């Protein structure tokens, strides 16, 4: 699990790139409003997924600085901060609305928060006696994103470094001893690598005596490729793992893994791979795809796919790996043949390793995660044992949620056994629409079975298999779930006792957060694996585990730790967060470094603690007296907002659904004295199966207000008129109230599909939120802006189309606006365009472009890699708005993907949104009552729009490749970080 988590961190990385001439953002603007003045914000929402291996892990939203104990992947770090190419003089003039422009800076009070140096990431040693402080840098320069990248089979590759493109890095590693009193000893700085080195994939050896990590220095030649280094933890001295300077890491997929305390298996670039394939000037023939066999193949629209034989050759060139077995004493030998290895998984006893690879025939319509996949087992000294499976190309996985690949899947090692495998196989052909029982069967087998020995059935499931938490032969927890109904079950099984009947421990709705019992805490085994921790309470022989829960309540989350008897179901709450002022969470066990039973009176856990105004710090809690020792003392990241005001508010939608939002107000603001403020409404819709679940409170009023580089909360710091105007009172008019994350539940109860009433429920939710902040006197009714990223941008455009009376303007970033361009499903919609034509059309703000009369700012990365949000979506939507005389502006950010990374881009996004809000929100003088009447007129015209919609649906891009917008989905079962 630890290594799997490092792979997830890797997917969120970006690479350091060589300087190139920077292209300014592309501006397209249509402005018909005589008012002028600017401001804005946004919560960036991105998601990335590993195409080869499902990682079942608890969402780590609360772990602001913490990274996995035994495998630390790349984070932002090191190097010069990018500079903005425009001058520091950012005074606004109307001429700047013309096409083209330069990168601009937002107001200093916003810029200073974004430019603040980031806090280090933390990682504990396997024995919990040391902590790594992994040092990072602030935002990278755009030159790093500008480096060439290959887009192949759903991934993006930096050819010079032979790794994923835009990969982040650390600038340094500090090692601290954790002393018995909870304090930290002096720093031991890892040293010996070249100055300016960029560090990735930091990984502890099992005994905690060494660190392995990758280093890259220059990037103009081979020196930019990654090399593996090792460091002695006691001295901090680092050296290259390989004596030869010509051995480079191939980190396109997996990178390296410790096999024992002195041996590492490394994915390397084959020394014999030759020159880069050359693209032929004249193709050998046309590009042909065929379905003469009449197969039903429906795929969501994927980006960056292979296009021809040349792309196939490039993919092989960059991804083919030669495994090398390297010892700390300098011994090196080849391990197996070269192949496109995607995963290296050693058995718990480190005697075997499972190698997963992909091979031809490749596909032009699905990414590499669906290519033919082969899984083999080898001994760790390089002897082939057996082939577990060789799965064919999987182009035909149905688009219905919970559909899966045929054959063996989720193949893993039992964490509680030396070398036993387990996996799942579907019984419904992988098609979630097929009704069958059982739906999944879990099998288990020793890695080297006796001749003729068949796999043993471990458990049968009627829902879709979602993972196993292992403990020992007497206890394991098996998870299954079904997305359509939101049902989730947890089974208790005894893997070593066939006569013990499996039983359901929990059977609940995944949406019902109030009933969530929590997840079992895991302990580290001597082999470095993680199993369910059994806890003994004195001489009591009962089987107890620790359930770590978020503690959702109508008053907000109150995290807890329960001592839970598996056999009787009885619970004892042994720890709970301070609910009056603080928000505390349990992170991991700290008393599992020794073998043997764990006793409650010797328990130690790592916790985090924060409040509305105090940033996250980490503590060690010790039993039996529950003494708390603070082990970090991070400074406040933005002291200028240390006294911001935060409140979790509750209100009701007109259909009775209970809604919540987090209301932020500027420091020292008093509504009775200062009057209502301009307000920024920033959200992201979510789908639910029941009104009760939709109305449940999520989050805590005591959580620290984390402010990201594009967060709406940046505007709490807005104090003065950056653009030199004198038409308003500076003490209040430039400050903002922020309504963050108002719940926008789209509910489809029973057999009803949520999206069939999307617009109706969207508008009702927004109306309720706006009415509440106006009622409280904190928001001026004619100065409320709406914004969002991705699906939130889709929401923004729809609200301006269908509820113009609520908002003065909108900011939409990286959205999709025409659902006919995603005909085989989007977000949580798994019906096709042809199955739900009216839903696709009515949900698309593109079809209602003629209704959008309020100003809307569209921002999009030119290299958006997210399925469903092609840059073309914003381009076409802008043209549709312009074609109807709408007030709109389109900003295309060169080199940026779905989320924005470069300092120049982020600063410019903030400048654009700040300007937009100042001009169309702060300075807005429109009559709200007139807007309400206009809104009613729009509704009355809906019945006459069907003909236009039908024309748009048939000619608006239905033949385009489908896109699947996957952000916001959380379909995997949860387990613990450790």
Distant-in-sequence, close-in-space partners of 895: CB < 8 Å, separation ≥ 6: 23, 142, 145, 146, 861, 862, 863, 902, 905
Write out the two tokens for 317.
């060139």
* 579 torsion bin: left (phi>0), alpha (psi -120 to 50), beta (else): alpha
Q: Which residues are catalytic?
A: 790, 864, 898
Q: What are phi and psi of 238, to 5 degrees?
A: -115, 150
- Give yes or no for a contact between 812 and 846, defined as CB atoms under 8 angstroms apart: no
Q: HSE-up of 691 (CA within 13 Å, CB side)? A: 9
Write out the two tokens for 130.
């040391």
Q: Which residue has the tokens 């030649």?
A: 221
Write out the two tokens for 758.
């999307």
- Give yes or no for a contact between 408 and 375, defined as CB atoms under 8 angstroms apart: yes
- Give yes or no for a contact between 713 and 707, defined as CB atoms under 8 angstroms apart: yes
Distant-in-sequence, close-in-space partners of 714: CB < 8 Å, separation ≥ 6: 41, 106, 110, 113, 114, 707, 910
Secondary structure (DSSP) of 163-189: EETT---BSEEEEEEB-TTS-B---EE
Write out the two tokens for 206.
């099992």
Strands (E), 217-255: 227-232, 238-240
Q: In what order do the strands lie in the sheet containing 172-177?
A: 121-124, 130-135, 172-177, 188-189
Q: How far apart are CA 320 and CA 312, in angstroms?
A: 12
Q: How far apart are CA 472 and CA 496, in angstroms?
A: 8
Sign of the alpha-carbon dihedral angle for 420, 426, 429, 431 = negative
Helices and strands in the chain: count of H runs, count of E runs: 13, 49
C-alpha distances out from residue 389 to 54, 225, 392, 408, Å = 17, 33, 10, 7
Q: Which residue has the tokens 């409170």?
A: 697
- Give yes or no for a contact between 678 and 781, defined as CB atoms under 8 angstroms apart: no
Type and span of the H or E element at 5? helix 2-11
- Give yes or no for a contact between 599 and 624, defined as CB atoms under 8 angstroms apart: no
Other beta carbons within 10 Å of 831: 17
Q: What are phi and psi of 425, to 5 degrees?
A: -135, 130
Q: Which residue has the tokens 């020792």?
A: 629
- Give yes or no for a contact between 85 and 103, defined as CB atoms under 8 angstroms apart: yes
3-state secondary structure 823-852: CCCECCECCCCCCCHHHHHHHCHHHHHHHC
| Predicted pLDDT at 335 | 98
Alpha-carbon dihedral angle through residues 884, 889, 891, 897, given to the nearest 10 degrees: -60
Write out the two tokens for 530.
């993680």
Q: How far apart are CA 222 and CA 237, in angstroms?
A: 24
Tell me the CA end-to-end span of the chain in Å, nearest whole number: 8
Q: How far apart are CA 351 and CA 342, in angstroms?
A: 20
C-alpha distances out from residue 904 to 170, 207, 708, 813, 892, Å = 21, 43, 15, 16, 13
- Give yes or no for a contact between 259 and 333, defined as CB atoms under 8 angstroms apart: no
Write out the two tokens for 679.
């307000």
Q: How far apart are CA 805 and CA 898, in angstroms?
A: 30
Question: Of how many residues is the chain composed?
Answer: 978
The contacts found for 751-756 with CB under 8 angstroms, 24 or more apart, are 753/829, 753/831, 753/836, 753/839, 754/687, 754/688, 754/689, 754/828, 755/687, 755/828, 755/829, 755/836, 755/839, 755/843, 756/836, 756/839
Q: Which residues of the chain have pLDDT under 50?
A: 1-22, 31-64, 68-96, 98-99, 722-733, 939-940, 942-978
Q: How far apart are CA 717 and CA 910, in angstroms?
A: 13
Q: How far apart are CA 620 and CA 648, in angstroms?
A: 29
Q: How far apart are CA 550 and CA 368, in angstroms?
A: 36
- Give yes or no for a contact between 606 and 588, defined as CB atoms under 8 angstroms apart: yes
Write out the two tokens for 925.
């003088």
Is 416 exposed, middle or buried (CB count within 10 Å of its CB: 0-12, 13-18, 19+)?
A: buried
What is the topology classification, in CATH, of domain 639-721+732-922?
A: Rossmann fold (3.40.50)
Write out the two tokens for 904.
């120049």
- Give yes or no for a contact between 611 and 704, defined as CB atoms under 8 angstroms apart: yes
Q: How far apart are CA 372 and CA 445, in angstroms?
A: 23
Q: How far apart are CA 920 and CA 938, in angstroms?
A: 21
- Give yes or no for a contact between 301 and 822, defined as CB atoms under 8 angstroms apart: yes
Q: Which of 701, 706, 705 is nearest to 579 (CA)?
A: 701
Q: How far apart are CA 349 and CA 352, in angstroms?
A: 8
Q: Tell me the β-bridge partners of 267.
A: 323
| Predicted pLDDT at 929 | 57
| Predicted pLDDT at 291 | 84
DSSP class of residue 451? Answer: T
The pTM is what? Answer: 0.86
Q: How far apart are CA 171 and CA 676, in angstroms?
A: 45
Q: How far apart are CA 579 and CA 559, in angstroms?
A: 9
Write out the two tokens for 632.
């970090």
Tell me the H-state helices in 675-757.
691-694
Q: How far apart are CA 40 and CA 913, in angstroms?
A: 4
Q: Which of 124, 327, 125 is nearest to 208 (CA)?
A: 125
Tell me the H-state helices in 123-244.
142-145
DSSP class of residue 237? Answer: B
């Amino acid at each position: 699990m630890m290594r799997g988590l490092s792979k997830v961190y890797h997917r969120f990385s970006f690479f350091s790139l060589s300087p190139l001439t920077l292209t300014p953002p592309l501006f397209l603007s249509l402005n018909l409003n005589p008012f002028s003045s600017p401001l804005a914000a946004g919560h960036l929402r991105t998601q990335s997924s590993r195409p080869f291996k499902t990682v079942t892990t608890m969402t780590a939203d609360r772990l602001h600085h913490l990274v996995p104990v035994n495998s630390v992947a790349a984070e932002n770090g090191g190097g010069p901060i990018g500079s903005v190419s425009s001058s520091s003089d950012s005074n606004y003039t109307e001429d700047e609305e013309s096409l083209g422009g330069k990168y601009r800076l937002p107001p200093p009070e916003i810029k200073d928060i974004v430019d603040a140096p980031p806090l280090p990431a933390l990682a504990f040693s396997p024995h919990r006696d040391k902590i790594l402080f992994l040092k990072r840098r602030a935002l990278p320069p755009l030159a790093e994103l500008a480096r060439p990248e290959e887009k192949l089979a759903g991934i993006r590759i930096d050819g010079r470094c032979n790794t994923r493109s835009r990969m982040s890095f650390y600038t340094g590693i500090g090692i601290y001893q954790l002393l018995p009193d909870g304090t930290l000893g002096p720093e031991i700085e890892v040293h010996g690598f070249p100055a300016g080195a960029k560090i990735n994939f930091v990984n502890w050896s099992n005994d905690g005596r060494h660190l392995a990590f990758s280093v890259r220095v220059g990037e103009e030649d081979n020196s930019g490729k990654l090399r593996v280094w090792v460091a002695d933890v006691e001295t901090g001295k680092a050296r290259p793992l390989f004596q030869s300077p010509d051995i480079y890491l191939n980190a396109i997929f997996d990178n390296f893994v410790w096999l024992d305390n002195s041996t590492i298996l490394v994915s390397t670039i084959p020394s014999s791979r030759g020159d880069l394939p050359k693209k032929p000037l004249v193709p050998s023939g046309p590009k042909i795809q065929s379905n003469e066999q009449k197969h039903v193949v429906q795929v969501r629209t994927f980006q960056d796919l292979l296009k021809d034989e040349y792309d196939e050759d490039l993919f092989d060139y960059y991804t083919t790996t030669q495994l090398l077995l390297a010892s700390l004493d300098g011994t090196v030998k080849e391990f197996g043949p070269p192949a496109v290895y995607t995963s290296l998984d050693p058995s718990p006893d480190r005697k075997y390793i499972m190698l997963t690879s992909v091979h031809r025939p490749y596909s032009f319509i699905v990414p590499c995660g669906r290519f033919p996949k082969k899984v083999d087992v080898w001994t760790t000294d390089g002897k082939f044992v057996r082939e577990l499976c060789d799965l064919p190309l999987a182009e035909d996985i149905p688009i219905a949620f919970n559909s899966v690949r045929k054959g063996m899947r989720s193949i893993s090692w039992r964490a509680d056994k030396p070398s036993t495998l387990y996996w799942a196989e579907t019984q419904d052909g992988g098609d979630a629409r097929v009704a069958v029982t059982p739906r999944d069967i879990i099998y288990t087998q020793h890695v080297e079975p006796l001749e003729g020995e068949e796999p043993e059935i471990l458990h049968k499931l009627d829902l879709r298999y979602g993972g196993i938490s292992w403990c020992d032969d007497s206890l394991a927890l098996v998870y299954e779930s079904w997305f359509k109904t939101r049902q989730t079950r947890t089974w208790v099984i005894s893997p070593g006792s066939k006569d013990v009947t499996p039983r359901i421990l929990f059977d609940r709705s995944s949406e019902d957060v109030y009933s969530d019992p929590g997840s079992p805490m895991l302990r580290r085994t001597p082999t470095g694996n993680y199993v369910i921790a059994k806890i003994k309470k004195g001489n009591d022989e009962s089987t107890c585990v620790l359930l770590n829960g978020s503690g959702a309540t109508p008053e907000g989350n109150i995290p807890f730790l329960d001592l839970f008897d598996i056999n009787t179901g009885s619970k004892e709450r042994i720890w709970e967060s301070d609910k009056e002022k603080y928000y505390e969470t349990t992170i991991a066990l700290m008393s599992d470094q020794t073998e043997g039973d764990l006793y409650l009176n010797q328990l130690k856990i790592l916790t985090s603690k924060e409040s509305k105004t105090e940033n996250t710090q980490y503590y060690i809690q010790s039993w039996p007296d529950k003494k708390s020792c603070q082990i970090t003392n991070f400074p406040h990241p933005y002291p200028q907002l240390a006294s911001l005001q935060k409140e979790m508010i509750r209100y009701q939608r007109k259909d009775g659904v209970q809604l919540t939002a987090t209301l932020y107000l500027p420091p020292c603001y008093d509504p009775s004295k200062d009057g209502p403020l301009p307000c920024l409404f920033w959200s992201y819709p979510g789908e639910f199966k029941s009104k009760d679940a939709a109305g449940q409170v999520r989050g805590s009023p005591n959580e620290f207000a984390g402010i990201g580089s594009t967060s709406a909360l940046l505007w709490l710091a807005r104090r003065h008129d950056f653009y030199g105007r004198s038409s308003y009172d500076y003490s209040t008019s430039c400050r903002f109230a922020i309504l963050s994350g108002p719940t926008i539940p789209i509910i489809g109860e029973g057999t009803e599909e949520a999206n069939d009433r999307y617009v109706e429920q969207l508008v009702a939710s927004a109306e309720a939120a706006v009415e509440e902040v106006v009622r409280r006197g904190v928001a001026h009714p004619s100065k409320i802006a709406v914004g969002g990223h991705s699906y939130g941008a889709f929401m923004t455009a729809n609200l301006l189309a269908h509820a113009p009376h609520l908002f003065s303007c909108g900011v939409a970033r990286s959205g999709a606006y025409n659902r006919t361009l995603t005909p085989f499903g989007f977000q949580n919609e798994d019906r096709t365009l042809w199955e739900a034509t009216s839903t696709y059309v009515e949900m698309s703000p593109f079809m209602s472009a003629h209704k959008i009369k309020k100003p809307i700012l569209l921002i999009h990365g030119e290299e958006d890699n997210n399925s469903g949000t092609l840059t073309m979506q914003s381009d076409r939507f802008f043209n549709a708005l312009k074609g109807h005389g709408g007030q709109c502006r389109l900003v295309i950010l060169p080199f940026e993907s779905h989320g924005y990374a470069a300092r120049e881009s982020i600063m410019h996004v903030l400048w654009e949104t700040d300007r937009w809000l100042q001009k169309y929100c702060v300075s807005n003088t429109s009559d709200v009552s007139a807007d309400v009447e206009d809104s009613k007129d729009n509704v009355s015209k809906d019945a006459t729009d069907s003909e236009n919609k039908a024309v748009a649906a048939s000619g608006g891009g239905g033949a385009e490749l489908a896109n699947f917008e996957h952000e916001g989905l959380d379909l995997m079962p949860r387990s613990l970080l450790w």
